[in-house]
């Protein structure tokens, strides 16, 4: 069963807009709504996407990715895959400047809870700042708070 509604594709401008698409294929339900992809500018915007595939639920909402500027912004992403729940919220990554900022990230994967909050890493300056990190992995608890490491100056 294949149902496609309200699809607009412009290949020359490399702008692909897919809105309100529902696909049921091989007893797996794929629902994609309000997806905008521009390949030439390498700007990928995915909003309000719900995918249920092979009894695993994948929900992605409000994701913005710009590849040319190497700026990756992921906000309010909830992924449940194979009975493991992954929740990622408010993540900002800039690869060119080598600045990695991860804030308010909660990941629960295979009954192990991984919580990472307020992490700032700058690789070019070799400054690593880790604050308020709580990791519970396989019944072992690892807590790292207010750690500052400067590799170049060391």
Q: How many separate domains does the chain show?
A: 1
Q: Burial level of 148, CB count in 10 A (0-12/13-18/19+)?
A: exposed
Contact 54, 76 (CB under 8 A): no
Q: Give 60-78 as a DSSP string.
A: E-SEEEETTTTEEEE-SEE
Q: Are strands 112-116 and 28-32 parallel, antiparallel or unpaired?
A: unpaired
Domain that holds residue 139: 2-150
* pLDDT per residue as tens digits for the range 46-83: 444 444 444 444 444 444 444 444 444 444 444 444 44
Confidence of residue 105 (pLDDT cuts 50, 70, 90): very low
pLDDT at site 64: 43
pLDDT at site 57: 44
Across all residues in the chain, what is the average pLDDT? Answer: 43
Rounded (5°) CA angle 13-61-54: 100
pLDDT at site 48: 41
pLDDT at site 47: 43
* pLDDT per residue as tens digits for the range 4-40: 444 444 444 444 444 444 444 444 444 444 444 444 4
């Amino acid at each position: 069963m294949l149902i496609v509604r309200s699809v607009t594709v412009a290949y020359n401008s490399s702008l692909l807009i897919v809105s309100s698409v529902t696909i049921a294929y091989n007893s797996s339900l794929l629902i994609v709504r309000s997806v905008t992809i521009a390949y030439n500018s390498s700007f990928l915007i995915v909003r309000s996407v719900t995918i249920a595939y092979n009894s695993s639920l994948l929900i992605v909402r409000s994701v913005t990715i710009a590849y040319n500027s190497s700026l990756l912004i992921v906000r309010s992403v909830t992924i449940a895959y194979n009975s493991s729940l992954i929740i990622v919220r408010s993540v900002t990554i800039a690869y060119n400047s080598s600045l990695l900022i991860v804030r308010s990230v909660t990941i629960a994967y295979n009954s192990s809870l991984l919580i990472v909050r307020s992490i700032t890493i700058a690789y070019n300056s070799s400054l690593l700042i880790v604050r308020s990190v709580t990791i519970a992995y396989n019944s072992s608890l690892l807590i790292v708070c207010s750690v500052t490491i400067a590799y170049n100056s060391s």
